[in-house]
Amino acid sequence: MTKLRVCFISAFLIIVSVPWFFTEFISGNILGFPTWAFYSLCITILYAIVTACFFQRYWSLFADNDHD
Amino acid sequence: MALVHLRQFCSLQISDQTMNDNALLDTKGIVFVGVYLVSLILIGVAGRFARKENSLSDFYLSGRGMGLFVLFLTLYATQYSGNTLIGMAGSAYRQGYAFLVSVIFMMSVIGAYLIYAPKLHNRSKKHGYITVGDYVQHRFGSPVLTVFITIVCIIAVGSYILTNLKAIGYIVEVTTGGRVTFVQGIIALSLVMVIYETLGGMRSVAWTDAIQGILLIAGCIFIFCGIEYQYGGISAVAETLAVSRPDLWQPPDPEQKRLWLSTIIIIMFGISIYPQAIQRIYAAKDAKTLRRSFQIMIFMPIVTTFFLVMVGIVGLARFPGLDKQGSEEITLLLLNDMSVHIPGVKYFIILFLSAAVAAIMSTVDSALLAISSLFTQDIYKRIRPGASQSNLTGTGKIFSWVLMACMAYFAVNLPQTIWRLTEIKLEILCQVAPAIFLGLHIKSLHGRSILTGLSIGICITLFIMFSNSIGLSIEPKPWGIHAGVWGLAANFLTVGITSIYKRMPVKS
């Protein structure tokens, strides 16, 4: 994977963590959160896991001094 | 700043009784905090004895040998200020579930490190960087750009110290019921910080940060578990709020969603390039240690920010109808309420207040050390290039004392109108981001492009923010987006356009 792809995936997760697609009022909750807040929280946790994996796997890619 | 409202909390609490009767910290609590402060000075002395050489690298970067435990805790304590402990719960109280944005914006800061920390760490080891200015000078070879970025960093971090000092004064006055006044609190804690900082430099700051970080984590976990035990789980609170505040179930409107994303952007690019954070990237023992620290740090918003958002939401269910000032004290209100039912909770209050003081101190001491290094390495060393390492270190220490004295004076006496300037630190600081994020990865990027982008970015940000003051009707956040983000977009765009223009072949 290239550096640009890693950045793109991270940016994508950050952008979709905003509940853009929730526009209507939905009653009820999931584990104590409104549906849109639960969705946002799930993406946030996914972002943390993905970023931790990126640190493990692509650290050397970003440390590379020869890439332009 | 959120903590400023603690003063009003104090005045509300003392309406019928004397201040001393309403002290949140009793004599035992004050003794506990006093012992804690003395221990910080002892750590400073230990840091002094652990010194390996009298050099800038040893003083400001702890000899570039920081291990995983200390590095992680000092990164953590530096990233989370006192505002995290007190202000975030208040914001969650007012905004409800929408403030869950704070969890991802704190995570995005760590995500941003992946882009530049690996390479910057390598380069710092290879070329002996001490400050962010060292990298800028080495990468772009432009003294004008280096001094410009150094001044932007000093202004941004200086304002950060000011707001935190003011907050610590209020906390001390409120929690001791006025036995220690606002001014005395600022002077005493400033003295403690500058003593241990000048004794051991980064080594002392990092060690004290480690203790402060542990206090901060413990404070967050204890208060979250306490409210879960006392008021039922998140689901029980949601059922209460579904009846009393059904509006919280309404998703954010389009402008709020844009503001949500804008907040993430401004914090991601602003906080991730704090000079004190960059110093810790330089100070890491090796790349593996730094990488592991970030891998732990990415999950810390869950046990810090998320827990405090839940505290605010539980407070909303338990104490509805508080105004802005009242909501800032929601954590203390919950702790007081719990202490009525659970006697042992009064010790939580001492722990929580100690954690709040610790959080602010860890932020201020790191910022102080960062400014001291920026001045010594990037400004003083240019004026006196032949100065020895011990002379530079000594100058840095003297500068720390002078700076802290000025900051303490301004924290007490600065006119309210000037405080407006301290609110824009992140919006200005994030304009430095292209120099670091792009500069490290695009070899062909020229210093002039960065300088032009930086100047345009700052001008646009200031123009939008202060347009109302000069009679123009431009919103402070046009289209729900921060002025700093508009400035940053123009900054990146300028850097891109000027770089492409410079690459174009010149026709004869």
Confidence at residue B170, expressed as pLDDT on a 0 to 100 scale: 78
The residue ranking higher by pLDDT, B473 or B7, is B473
The verdict on A37 touching B (C-beta cutoff 8 Å) is yes
* Facing residue for A31 by CB, picked from B100, B234, B268: B234
Q: Mean of the per-residue pLDDT values for chain B?
A: 83
| pLDDT tens-place string over residues B376-410 | 888 888 888 888 888 888 888 888 888 888 888 88
What long-range pairs does A39-43 form, CB within 8 A, spacing at least 24?
A40/B100, A40/B101, A40/B104, A41/B100, A41/B103, A41/B306, A43/A13, A43/A16, A43/A17, A43/B104
Chain B contact set for A58 (CB, 8 A): 114
* Facing residue for B298 by CB, picked from A31, A41, A52: A52
Q: Mind telling me how many Å the CA of B144 is from chain A's nearest CA?
A: 25
| pLDDT tens-place string over residues B259-301 | 999 999 999 999 899 988 999 999 999 999 999 999 999 999 9
| pLDDT tens-place string over residues A8-66 | 999 999 999 999 988 887 777 888 899 999 999 999 999 999 999 999 999 999 987 55
Residue from B95, B100, B265, B316 whose CB has the most chain A CBs within 10 Å, to mutate: B100
Residue from A9, A14, A39, A61 whose CB has the most chain B CBs within 10 Å, to mutate: A14
Give the number of C-alpha atoms closer than 13 A to the C-alpha of residue B367, restricted to the C-beta side.
30
Enter the ipTM.
Answer: 0.93
Band (pLDDT 50/70/90 cuts) for residue B17 is very low
Note whether B251 contacts A64, CB cutoff 8 Å: no
Sorted by where each begins, the domain ranges of chain B are 32-415, 442-508
Residue B172 has pLDDT above 90, yes or no: no
Residue B5 has pLDDT above 60, yes or no: no
Note whether B114 contacts A68, CB cutoff 8 Å: no
Q: In chain B, what percentage of residues exceed pLDDT 70? A: 92
Tell me the C-alpha distance between B68 and B75, whole Å: 10
* Facing residue for A68 by CB, picked from B239, B264, B443: B443
* Facing residue for B115 by CB, picked from A14, A17, A62: A62
As beta bridge partners, residue B284 has B66
Chain B contact set for A9 (CB, 8 A): none
Tell me the C-alpha distance between B59 and B47, whole Å: 10
| pLDDT tens-place string over residues B194-208 | 888 888 888 888 888
Question: Cα dist. B360→A21, B84, B293, B364 in Å?
Answer: 38, 9, 21, 6
Cα Dmax for chain A: 54
Residue of B nearest to A33 (CA): B238
Tell me the C-alpha distance between B479 and B485, whole Å: 11
User: What is the average pLDDT across B61-78?
Assistant: 88
User: What is the average pLDDT across B251-256?
Assistant: 89
Confidence at residue B422, expressed as pLDDT on a 0 to 100 scale: 57
Residue B100 has pLDDT above 60, yes or no: yes
Confidence at residue B287, expressed as pLDDT on a 0 to 100 scale: 92
Confidence at residue B19, expressed as pLDDT on a 0 to 100 scale: 46
The verdict on A4 touching B (C-beta cutoff 8 Å) is no
Note whether B299 contacts A48, CB cutoff 8 Å: yes
Band (pLDDT 50/70/90 cuts) for residue B72 is very high
| pLDDT tens-place string over residues B208-238 | 888 878 888 888 888 888 888 888 778 888 8
User: What is the average pLDDT across B449-457?
Assistant: 93
> Using only C-alpha atoms, what is the Rg of chain B?
23
Cβ–Cβ under 8 Å, residues B434 and B449: no
Residue of A nearest to B257 (CA): A18
Residue from A7, A17, A26 whose CB has the most chain B CBs within 10 Å, to mutate: A17
CATH label, B32-415, candidates 1.20.1730.10, 3.30.530.20, 3.40.640.10, 2.40.100.10: 1.20.1730.10
Residue of A nearest to B250 (CA): A25
Confidence at residue B269, expressed as pLDDT on a 0 to 100 scale: 93
| pLDDT tens-place string over residues B39-56 | 888 888 888 888 887 777
Residue of A nearest to B232 (CA): A32
Distance of CA B181 to the CA centre of its chain: 25
Q: Mind telling me how many Å the CA of A52 is from chain B's nearest CA?
A: 5
* Facing residue for A44 by CB, picked from B103, B115, B121: B103
What the block records as the tokens of B459 is 């001008």
Confidence at residue B12, expressed as pLDDT on a 0 to 100 scale: 38
Tell me the C-alpha distance between A19 and B75, whole Å: 30
* Facing residue for A65 by CB, picked from B119, B291, B299: B119
Confidence at residue B123, expressed as pLDDT on a 0 to 100 scale: 92
